[in-house]
Amino acid sequence: MSPDWLDTIHWNPDGLIPAIAQETGTGKVLMLAWMNRESLQRTLETGEAVYWSRSRQRLWHKGESSGNTQRVVQMRLDCDRDTLLLEVEQRGGIACHTGRHNCFYHRYQDGDWQVVEPVLKDPDQMYGDKT
Amino acid sequence: MSPDWLDTIHWNPDGLIPAIAQETGTGKVLMLAWMNRESLQRTLETGEAVYWSRSRQRLWHKGESSGNTQRVVQMRLDCDRDTLLLEVEQRGGIACHTGRHNCFYHRYQDGDWQVVEPVLKDPDQMYGDKT
């Protein structure tokens, strides 16, 4: 049996809920990922963000490869109970797999999406160069 | 034919993308809603957030009933091109249909979701009392 607080969440047909990660202090929105029941429960237990990777179909402890984990300061749920908002401390100051501070680095300008955020660290260094 | 900038977005199987609305100035995350191609194009044309209401299956010009529209300051797209982040000016200072500043008013505390944000305006006043 799962706890009541998990049952009051409105999971989508795939058993998932979108989770927005917002950086504590700066208020910057870092990324959006997805959680299932197990990942949310593990997030609570460990105090670090654990998502559900839809592409890999497995639990994804954010930062497990790069070390850029997210310490969860607080968790919020919205009015419709179908979106989570996590206030997190982003270790390493890099949330994006491209080596940028956050994932929202395309800005709509002049009729197209322009890259407006710098790469802070080479992804090969973050994940180890496999070549 | 739709513009290229719409085609580079990774729409989900329902033709939708989640859009996070973040308040300019405060940096507060107000809500998450969904957009389809038409709603995003209208958002760009009008400069105000237009979402796709999944429950009503129609375009939803945010604030059309309450007057609490969202002026879009900038639009961002994430690394995977499957999430939007809108920086908005929230007219009326109320984004949530419950009359609260934002939708994320449940906070996880002591084993359950607790309401931690006040109602700023009676929803009956926002939408007109139908009784």
Give the model's pLDDT for residue B130. Answer: 53
Chain B interface disruption, residue of A10, A60, A83, A94, most B CBs within 10 A: A83
Q: How confident is the model at residue A3, as a pLDDT?
A: 81
Check pLDDT > 90 for residue A20.
yes
Any domain includes B131? no
pLDDT tens digits for range B84-126: 999 999 999 999 999 999 999 999 999 999 999 999 999 999 9
- Based on the number of CB atoms within 10 Å of its own CB, is A11 exposed (0-12), middle (13-18) or buried (19 or more)? middle
Paired tokens of B58: 């129609």
Domain of residue A53: give its range: 4-96
Residue B34, domain member (yes or no): yes
Query: What confidence score (pLDDT) does residue B57 get?
Result: 97
C-alpha distance from residue A103 to each of A39, B48, B85 (Å): 21, 23, 10
In a domain, A59, yes or no: yes
Residue A48 maps to a domain: yes
CB contact under 8 A, B112 and A5: yes
Tell me if A52 is assigned to some domain: yes
Contacts of B126 (CB under 8 A, 6+ apart): B65, B66, B68, B94, B97, B99
CB atoms within 10 A of CB A112: 12
* Helical residues (DSSP H) of chain B, grouped into ranges: 4-7, 37-46, 123-127
- B129 confidence band (pLDDT: 50, 70, 90): low
In a domain? residue A117: no
Report how many domains make up chain A. Answer: 1
pLDDT at A31 over 80: yes
Region B1-9: mean pLDDT is 87
Between chains, do A29 and B20 touch, taking CB under 8 Å as contact? yes
The mean per-residue pLDDT over the stretch A20-41 comes to 98
Residue B44 lies in a domain: yes
Q: What is the rounded distance in angstroms from the CA atom of residue A58 to the CA atom of residue A55?
A: 8
Q: Is residue B29 part of a domain?
A: yes
Which residue in A20, A76, A104 is closest to B107 by CB distance?
A76
